[in-house]
């Protein structure tokens, strides 16, 4: 921080991609401090060792790896991506964030379902989903939520499903039920009935075939951290309260006062001119009333309440030998007695595992071992978090034996699962635009405080994090861009040149 920023103190709360991005663009020198509650950086980017390789507990892919994606540009400039991601064709592919993977679909009767039947239904679902995105800006809506709209469309077509044959129709409905569960994982919600229809099309998918980080997603925040001056980030420093609109002095120095005092759970306090808050929306939902003194203005508090923040978890299973064909990359699960037109069971204890959409097969096996990564969203996912590893492993073994029709299928050697809802400084996985909210709430959440632009002490509180990005919410690139945005807001105030290299 130079120029008009000399002597200004900035504190950022949270060392995920938004916080690290802000620090990167502010230059990381001067009096910048980044306070992180956890004992590690990265937040919802979290790579752990598992089996022969690595497991991504949080973010998995770069969604839309192409030059318009800042995560892709940064990762490329650091040399963190594999040769596939660098290919022009990969970057140009328009797949709407869902790369088609070679897959096999297991039915609950223990049989593999016909790939033609499955892909026909996927095609229908994708068409319906595209039509759901087209309501952006519409004054009149056929339904308030994406889920209700989709069910309405499915109801209208039900007689044509399966070519009029009852068993084929039932199977197509069951496959559609899985499609809806997959969409819950993508939107990070319990039910698509909670996701607002009108703003659904506002989320922007970038071109590019989704790719992973060969050395783990955490290699990105690690590189970002290494470019910051030592001591910028303080770990194990959970912030308890942010007092703003105040007049605080350092002990023994009455010559200067600061409008903000950031108090940590361990009793430490940091005085600042500006605080960039990057804590997850889940944390804000639970804690904002006590976290800010004075409390946030009503419009911001309402935006926090209205916007959605749900859970999507992963369950990694390591096997001694694969029971799947090495060509496959995805094992999908269909419960043949389910239908999107019927209410799902609310008995979590008996049925939580039926919400699991299937498993991604981690590739290549010589780097990962024989590992499946299951995805599960919603209340069932939150229930899974309360179970022991042994219980999850036992249920997964039973599930896979049912699906493969092989009662002797060997149990996985090991299990590792994420527990994002129980994580006290996250309280879920990512945000979505819930019924009753809109993109305007995302903008309201992103607005700095105090609201009055003429306030003599402007930009006391700035807000970043994935939930503050109107078109890229729920992603790593949304988080990074939001951090850059707030750093730029301060740079403008300081009128200092941006010291970070442009990528
Ligand atoms: C992506 C992907 N991905 C899977 C799973 C999850 C997420 N995402 P952070 O939380 O990182 O940082 C805040 C920090 O603040 C944190 O370290 C806290 O400890 C700290 N903190 C909190 N309270 C504090 C306090 N009091 N004091 C001090 N510190 C405090 N994104 O691009 N690709 O494949 C996935 C996936 C299981 C959980 C993901 C993915 C989301 C990203 O991980 C996430 O947005 C960013 O990392 C957040 O960074 P941040 O800095 O904001 O917060 C139509 C429509 C559809 C919309 N969805 C489509 C896209 C779907 C998203 N993709 C999901 C898929 C997977 C698998």
The CATH number that applies at residue 241 is: 3.50.50.60
Give the integer Cα–Cα distance in Å for 128 and 150: 7
Across-strand partners of 112?
A: 106
Q: How far is the CA of 141 from the centre of ligand 1 (A)?
A: 30
Percent of the chain with pLDDT over 70: 95
Residues 6+ apart with CB under 8 A from 94: 207
pLDDT digits (tens, 9 = 90+) for 285-302: 999 999 999 999 999 999
Is residue 67, in this structure, part of any structural domain at all? no
What sign does the dihedral 207-212-484-2 (CA atoms) show?
Answer: negative
* CB of residue 279 inside a 6 A radius of ligand 1: yes
CATH number, domain at 383? 3.90.660.10
Whether pLDDT at 303 is above 60: yes
What mean pLDDT do residues 204-222 have?
96
Which of 16, 236, 290 is the best mutation target for the ligand 1 pocket, counting ligand atoms within 8 Å of the beta carbon and taking the most? 16
User: For residue 35, which of 25, 22, 46, 48 has the smallest C-alpha distance?
Assistant: 22
Q: Which residue has tokens 């994090």?
A: 465
Exposure on the CB side of residue 444, measured as CA atoms within 13 A = 18
Please tell me the predicted confidence (pLDDT) of residue 91: 83
Domain boundary among 393, 417, 441: 417
Supply the DSSP string of 359-381, one letter for each residue.
EEEPS-HHHH-EEEEEEEEHHHH
Together in a domain, 10 and 159: no
User: How far does the chain reach from its first CA to its final CA, in angstroms?
Assistant: 19
DSSP type of residue 451: S
* CB of residue 200 inside a 6 A radius of ligand 1: yes
The residue contributing the CA closest to ligand 1 atom 31 is: 475
What mean pLDDT do residues 325-353 have?
95
Percent of the chain with pLDDT over 90: 89
Q: How far is the CA of 281 from the centre of ligand 1 (A)?
A: 10
By residue range, what is the domain housing residue 244? 3-45+214-308+433-495
Is residue 404, in this structure, part of any structural domain at all? yes
Q: How far is the CA of 111 from the centre of ligand 1 (A)?
A: 36
Answer for the pair 235, 41: CB distance below 8 angstroms, yes or no.
yes
pLDDT digits (tens, 9 = 90+) for 137-160: 999 999 999 999 999 999 999 999
Together in a domain, 284 and 318: no
* CB of residue 219 inside a 6 A radius of ligand 1: no
Letter string b/e over residues 385-415, b meaning 16 or more CB atoms within 10 A of that residue's CB = beeeeeebbebbbebbbbbbeeeebebbeeb
Answer for the pair 238, 269: CB distance below 8 angstroms, yes or no.
no
What sign does the dihedral 424-429-433-434 (CA atoms) show?
Answer: negative
Together in a domain, 29 and 118: no
Token pair recorded at residue 434: 């819930």
Whether pLDDT at 4 is above 80: no
Whether pLDDT at 125 is above 70: yes
Q: How far is the CA of 464 from the centre of ligand 1 (A)?
A: 12
Domain boundary among 417, 448, 480: 417
Pairing of the two strands 269-272 and 260-264: antiparallel
Domain boundary among 352, 387, 417: 417
Is residue 70, in this structure, part of any structural domain at all? no
Is residue 232, in this structure, part of any structural domain at all? yes
pLDDT digits (tens, 9 = 90+) for 22-75: 999 996 445 899 999 999 999 999 999 999 999 999 999 999 999 999 999 999
The residue contributing the CA closest to ligand 1 atom 3 is: 59
User: For residue 465, which of 20, 5, 11, 7 has the smallest C-alpha distance?
Assistant: 20
Residues 6+ apart with CB under 8 A from 166: none
* CB of residue 418 inside a 6 A radius of ligand 1: yes
Whether pLDDT at 501 is above 70: no
Together in a domain, 137 and 252: no
Is residue 54, in this structure, part of any structural domain at all? no
Pairing of the two strands 414-417 and 370-377: unpaired
| Burial class for 470, CB neighbours closer than 10 Å (0-12, 13-18, 19+) | buried
Q: How far is the CA of 139 from the centre of ligand 1 (A)?
A: 32
* CB of residue 185 inside a 6 A radius of ligand 1: no
What sign does the dihedral 319-321-327-332 (CA atoms) show?
Answer: negative
The residue contributing the CA closest to ligand 1 atom 20 is: 14
Is residue 89, in this structure, part of any structural domain at all? no
Q: How far is the CA of 463 from the centre of ligand 1 (A)?
A: 15
Nearest atom (ligand 1) to Cα of 291: 26
Is residue 467, in this structure, part of any structural domain at all? yes
* CB of residue 466 inside a 6 A radius of ligand 1: yes
Res. 99 pLDDT band, cuts 50 70 90: low
Note if the pTM is more than 0.85. yes
Pairing of the two strands 430-432 and 330-334: unpaired
Together in a domain, 194 and 323: yes
């Amino acid at each position: 921080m130079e120029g008009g920023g000399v002597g200004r103190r900035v504190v950022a709360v949270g060392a995920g991609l938004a916080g690290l991005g802000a620090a990167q663009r502010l230059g990381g020198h001067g009096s910048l401090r980044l306070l992180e509650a956890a004992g590690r950086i990265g937040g919802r980017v979290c790579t752990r060792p598992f089996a022969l390789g690595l497991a991504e507990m949080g973010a998995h892919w770069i969604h839309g790896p192409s030059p318009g994606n800042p995560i892709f540009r940064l990762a490329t400039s650091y040399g963190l991506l594999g040769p596939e991601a660098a290919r022009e064709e990969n970057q140009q592919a328009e797949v709407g964030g869902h790369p088609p993977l070679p897959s096999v679909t297991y039915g609950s009767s223990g049989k593999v379902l016909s790939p033609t039947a499955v892909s026909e239904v996927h095609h229908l679902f994708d068409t319906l989903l595209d039509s759901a995105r087209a309501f952006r800006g519409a004054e009149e809506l056929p339904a308030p939520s994406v889920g209700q709209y989709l069910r309405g469309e499915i109801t209208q077509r039900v007689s044509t499903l399966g070519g009029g044959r009852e068993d084929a129709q039932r199977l197509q409905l069951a496959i559609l039920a899985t499609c809806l569960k997959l969409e819950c994982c993508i939107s990070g919600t319990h039910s698509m009935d909670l996701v607002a229809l009108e703003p659904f099309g506002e989320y922007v998918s970038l071109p590019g075939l989704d790719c992973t980080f060969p050395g783990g997603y955490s290699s990105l925040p690690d590189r970002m951290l290494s470019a910051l001056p030592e001591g910028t980030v303080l770990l194990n420093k959970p912030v308890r309260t942010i007092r703003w609109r105040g007049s605080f002095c350092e002990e023994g120095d009455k010559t200067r006062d600061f409008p903000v005092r950031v108090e940590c759970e361990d009793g430490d306090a940091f005085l600042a001119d500006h605080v960039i808050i990057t804590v997850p929306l889940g944390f804000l939902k639970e804690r904002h009333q006590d976290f800010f003194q004075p409390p946030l203005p009503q419009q911001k508090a309402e935006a926090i309440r209205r916007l959605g923040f749900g859970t999507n978890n992963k369950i990694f299973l390591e096997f001694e030998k694969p029971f799947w064909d090495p060509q496959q990359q995805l094992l999908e699960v269909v419960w043949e007695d389910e239908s999107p037109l019927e209410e799902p069971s609310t008995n979590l204890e008996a049925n939580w595992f039926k919400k699991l959409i299937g498993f991604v097969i981690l590739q290549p096996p010589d780097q990962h071992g024989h590992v499946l990564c299951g995805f599960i969203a919603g209340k069932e996912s939150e229930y899974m978090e309360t179970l022991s590893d042994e219980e999850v492993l036992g249920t997964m073994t039973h599930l896979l034996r049912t699906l493969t029709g092989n009662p002797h299928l060997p149990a996985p050697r090991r299990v590792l699962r994420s527990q994002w809802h129980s994580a006290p400084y996250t309280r879920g996985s990512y945000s979505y635009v819930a019924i009753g909210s809109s993109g305007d709430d995302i903008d309201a959440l992103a607005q700095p405080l105090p609201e009055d632009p003429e306030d003599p002490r402007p930009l006391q509180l700035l807000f970043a994090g994935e939930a503050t990005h109107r078109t890229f919410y729920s992603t790593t690139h949304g988080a990074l861009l939001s951090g850059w945005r707030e750093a730029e807001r301060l740079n403008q105030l300081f009128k200092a040149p941006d010291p970070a290299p442009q990528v």
